[in-house]
Structure 1
Amino acid sequence: MDILNFIINFISSMGLGEQISIATGLIYIVLSVRQNSLCWPFGIISVGIWMTIVFQGKLYSDAFLQFIYVVLGFYGWYQWLRGGTDSEPLKVQRLSAKMALKLTGMGLIAFLPAGYAAEHYLHASYPWWDALTTVLSLIAQYLLAKKYIENWILWIIADVMYIGIYHLKGWTGYSGLMAVYTIMAVIGYMQWLKSYQAERVKLCQPV
């Protein structure tokens, strides 16, 4: 009963927008781990609401990130449904070393000006951490949209950082959500790896 009361009080302390965003966000992460394309509309709703909240909290890089998430949400939705061979549903894939180096370089190039702008022009809260998590999350979201397993590794790193940032901002609901996301990202990595390995075995079997 004490645990139930704690959960009820915890949820009641949030605003309506935060409650809806968290609920749809949880549905999104569960469905994405299960490779269910319905994750995308729930994700679009969740980040759309969260975009307005973090903008008001002066996390401008994070607000911009949520806007890009909305765009990538529609892109990922299409990719999962029609992005495979002959417009078939997209299958789980691995990131090549060449592409990994390319994305790393792009991330480093984007991080420095983003952090500088956030600190000196936007006067954002925790500008360099905000910029770093933004860059990591953008790359991770693109990899998720293309069903690369490695997206979960980047999400684990970014979500751990977000736990601290949101806690310092006083957004305990979202800090807790990021903790759940971190756990789900670990599960997602393991589940997608199994799916990838099963598909590879299947392709190697004689017809």
Structure 2
Amino acid sequence: MEFINFIAEFIRSMGIGEQISIVTGLIYIFLSVRQNSLCWPFGIISVGIWMVVVFQGRLYSDAILQFVYVVLGFYGWHQWLRGGINNKPLKVQKLDRKLGIRLFALGLVTFIPAGYIAEHYLQASYPWWDALTTVLSLIAQYLLARKYLENWILWIVADTMYIGIYYAKGWAGYSGLMAVYTAMAVLGFMHWLKSYKADRMQECRCE
């Protein structure tokens, strides 16, 4: 009973925008783990509200990230429904080495100038951490949109960092949400890996 009262008080302490963003965000991550394409509209609503909150908190890189999330949300929605062979829904796939190297290189050349600009021109809070989590999250979101299994590994790393960043900013609600996201990312990896193996076995039987 005390735990329920704590949760209720915790939710009441948040602004209405934060409450809506967190609820829709939780629905989004739950449905994405389940590979349900309805996750995307909930995700778009969540990050749209989140974008306003973090911009007001001067996490400018994160605000830009949320805007890109909105765009990638529509892209991912389309990909999950018709991004597979013959416009069929996508199946879980693994990241090949060539694309992995390209994404790593892109992330590296993006992180350095993003961190420098955030620190010296935007006076952002925690500029280098903000830039690093932004780059990791962008790559992870692209991989999620294309149903690459490895997206969950990047989310685990990025969300763990966000727990500390948001807590330091005084956003306990978002910090707690990131802790849930981290746990869900672990579950997502396990669930998608099982799905990937099942699809591969099915393909072998059909050959």
1:154 and 2:154 matched: yes
TM-score normalised per structure 1: 0.99
Q: How does 1:136-155 map to 2 (within 5 A)?
A: 136-155=136-155
TM-score normalised per structure 2: 0.99
Deviations 1:88-142 (A, max 9, x none): 0011000001111110000000000000000000000000000000000000000
**Identity of matched residues, %:** 74
Residue in 2 that maps onto 1:14: 14
Q: In the aligned structure 2, how far is the partner of 1:8 from the partner of 1:194?
A: 35
Residue in 2 that maps onto 1:101: 101
Q: In the aligned structure 1, how far is the partner of 2:195 from the partner of 2:124?
A: 40
Residue in 2 that maps onto 1:55: 55
Deviations 1:24-46 (A, max 9, x none): 00000000000000000000000
1:121 and 2:144 matched: no
| Matched position secondary structure for 1:205 | helix
Residue in 1 that maps onto 2:83: 83
Q: In the aligned structure 1, how far is the partner of 2:22 from the partner of 2:172?
A: 11
Which ranges of 4 or more aligned residues in structure 1 deviate by more than 2 Å? none
| Matched position secondary structure for 2:91 | coil
- Give the partner amino acid of 2:198: A
Residue in 1 that maps onto 2:40: 40
Residue in 2 that maps onto 1:173: 173
Q: In the aligned structure 1, how far is the partner of 2:88 from the partner of 2:206?
A: 22
Deviations 1:129-188 (A, max 9, x none): 000000000000000000000000000000000000000000000000000000000000
Q: In the aligned structure 1, how far is the partner of 2:53 from the partner of 2:108?
A: 27
Q: In the aligned structure 1, how far is the partner of 2:169 from the partner of 2:206?
A: 56
1:112 and 2:131 matched: no
When the two chains are superposed, the root-mean-square deviation of aligned CA atoms in Å is: 0.6
Deviations 1:44-71 (A, max 9, x none): 0000000000000000000000000000
Q: In the aligned structure 2, how far is the partner of 1:54 from the partner of 1:30?
A: 23
| Matched position secondary structure for 2:122 | coil
